Amino acid sequence: MSGPDSSAVRFAVRLTPRGGSDHVEGVTDGVLRARVAAPPVEGAANQALLRLIANELDVPRGRVRLVAGAGGRTKLVAVDGIAPESVLARWPGLRL
């Protein structure tokens, strides 16, 4: 690998904080929709989202990072060291 982005898969996530439980609702218009129980305070919802995605894709938490959108509802997430096909198999219709 030549850098952190050489094998990263990036996609947009529409996050709903204080959503009751941590779960992925599915893909709408190419964007992953997710809910987390954590409030949007001091990055808690963002951290919960990254844990959720790592669990859903069965990758270590350290491989999932927030690239953009820390303060908004729509975020850009990157997952290192995973094949795009693996992500699309989990969430068909996701725009990478």
Domain count, the chain: 1
Per-position pLDDT tens, the chain of length 96: 334 446 799 999 999 999 999 999 999 999 999 999 999 999 999 999 999 999 999 999 999 999 999 999 999 999 999 999 999 999 999 999
* 65 falls within a domain: yes
User: CB of 22 within 8 A of CB of 36?
Assistant: yes
* 63 falls within a domain: yes
SS3 sequence of 5-54: CCCCEEEEEEEECCCCCCEEEEEECCEEEEECCCCCCCCHHHHHHHHHHH
Specify the pTM.
0.92
* 4 falls within a domain: no
* 49 falls within a domain: yes
* 52 falls within a domain: yes
Tokens of 17: 């904080």
Residue 80 belongs to domain spanning: 9-90
Whichever domain contains 37, its CATH number is 3.30.1200.10
* 84 falls within a domain: yes
